[in-house]
Amino acid sequence: MRTAVVLIPGDGIGPSIADATVRVLAAAGAEIDWDVRLAGLAALAAHENPMPDSTLEAIRRTGVALKGPLETPVGEGYRSVNVALRKTFDLYANVRPAHVIVRGGRFDTVDIVLVRENTEGLYSGAEHYIKVGDDPRAAAESVAIITRTGSERVIRYAFDYAVAHGRRKVTLVHKANILKYSQGLFLEVGRRIAAEFEPRGIAFEDRIVDAMAMNLVLHPEVFDVIVTTNLFGDILSDEISGLVGGLGLAPGANIGVHAAIFEAVHGTAPDLAGKGVANPSALILAACMMLDHLGDGARADRIRAALEATIRAGHQVTRDLGGTATTEAFTDAVVAALRPPASATSDAGGRRLAGSRDRRG
């Protein structure tokens, strides 16, 4: 049965890496009908709106989208397109996996999945200027809103993810030693949910964010699933990407009740646009997360294996990976590395949570 998916190519290098990703999925036999829509600068040029209603309606209809990097137009009246998508579809959980593909560097055993609360905290948009004397912008205030409901659903998602993927530990990151109300609420909810999952073999710990940042670069191998609030997750997710090679290898998923949007989390790289040298790995890996979400995990694993084999071989890789290959040559190599599934290999059939590798078995 074919599945309709919205494809937002994005800006800068977005169209190039989107084309590469579509090629790889087609070569793997993914049965997807792409509904191509615009957002960001491309949408502003075509529709005078960086987030057209037609794009939003398409996502509502399909419930699934794959998105390249978007650029928010500079100027008054335009908010972040990415934040707007999260708010519009209440995409409360941002899932960022990071694992080592090429061994022999500083870290060989990093395999972390970070689950970030995606709609609250300091990014909730509750901010204003404060007038003092004649200066209407003498001070500014941003409010970190953390709710029990928002905390509950993202922390529970992280624990459900751990169970579904055979992972063994969840680390909750916070700053409750200083922000005793807002961060304290997040920690309180986390401890209660952790007690529910303890009989299912999921260990739990909590760490203060500054100590966590240090330990991630000293001993990243001890962490498994991490769950945290919006701002901390934004920062730490880029840190764990840096442990395994950078944002060029970093996919992400934004999960809600009624929609899921999968993306390359790097920027638009306008200096590389149109040159045919961009690395499509992050978007290909995001597409694999999308296939997991759609219950096509076996195909996702085949694509991951082909991509990782191509990168490890090092013969046809883009310059950010130490090679000289074009985007097209790299994609050709990934397609060539794809192997037909063994007859005994089949998907479990169920819809599993979006993510990376499974540690069961």
To the nearest 10 degrees (0 to 180), the angle between helices 297-313 and 14-27 is 120
Which runs of E-coded beta strand occur in the chain? 3-8, 32-36, 64-67, 93-99, 111-117, 127-132, 135-142, 169-174, 203-208, 225-228, 251-255, 260-264
Instruction: Return the amino acid letter for 77.
Output: G
- 34: domain CATH number is 3.40.718.10
Query: How confident is the model over 172-198, as pLDDT tens digits?
Result: 999 999 999 999 999 999 999 999 999
Answer with the one of 239, 267, 284 that is the final residue of a domain.
239
- The residues facing 263 across adjacent strands are 67, 252
Output the pLDDT for position 350: 41
> Are residues 138 and 174 located together in one domain of the fold?
yes
Q: Which two tokens stand for residue 78?
A: 């335009």
pLDDT > 50? residue 349: no
Q: Which two tokens stand for residue 119?
A: 């709609």
Looking at the domain assignment, is residue 310 inside a domain? yes
Mean pLDDT over each residue of the chain, to the nearest integer: 92
Give the mean model confidence (pLDDT) for residues 328-337.
98
The confidence band for 93, taking pLDDT boundaries of 50, 70 and 90, is very high
Q: What share of the chain is helix, strand, coil (3-state, %, to 5)?
A: 40, 20, 40
Q: Which two tokens stand for residue 286?
A: 């995001």
Q: Which two tokens stand for residue 71?
A: 């650029």
CB 248 within 8 A of CB 266: yes
Output the pLDDT for position 340: 64
The confidence band for 356, taking pLDDT boundaries of 50, 70 and 90, is low
pLDDT > 80? residue 219: yes
Chain-centroid distance, C-alpha 346 = 26
Query: How confident is the model over 40-90, as pLDDT tens digits?
Result: 999 999 998 999 999 999 999 999 999 999 998 776 556 778 888 998 999
> Are residues 162 and 176 located together in one domain of the fold?
yes
> Are residues 301 and 340 located together in one domain of the fold?
yes
Range of the domain at 277: 1-96+244-361
> Are residues 148 and 225 located together in one domain of the fold?
yes
Euclidean distance between CA atoms 205 and 241, whole angstroms: 22
Active-site residue list = 123, 175, 210, 234
Output the pLDDT for position 113: 98
> Are residues 299 and 337 located together in one domain of the fold?
yes
Distances (CA, A) of 211 to 95, 169, 173, 215, 218: 22, 18, 9, 6, 11
Number of domains composing the chain: 2
- Sequence-distant (6+) residues with CB within 8 A of 99 are 110, 111, 112, 244, 356, 357
Q: How would you label 123-136 residue by residue, b for 16+ Cβ within 10 Å and e otherwise?
A: bbeeeeeeeeeeee
The confidence band for 7, taking pLDDT boundaries of 50, 70 and 90, is very high
Q: How many CA atoms lie within 13 A of 234 on its CB side?
A: 10
Looking at the domain assignment, is residue 104 inside a domain? no
Output the pLDDT for position 360: 46
> Are residues 254 and 215 located together in one domain of the fold?
no
Q: How would you label 152-190 residue by residue, b for 16+ Cβ within 10 Å and e otherwise?
A: ebbbbbbbbbbeebebeebbbbbbbeebeebbbbbbebb
Euclidean distance between CA atoms 87 and 339, whole angstroms: 39
Output the pLDDT for position 68: 96
Cα dihedral 87, 89, 93, 99 in deg (nearest 10): -100
pLDDT > 80? residue 354: no
End-to-end CA distance of the chain: 30
Q: How many CA atoms lie within 13 A of 268 on its CB side?
A: 18
> Are residues 166 and 150 located together in one domain of the fold?
yes
> Are residues 226 and 187 located together in one domain of the fold?
yes
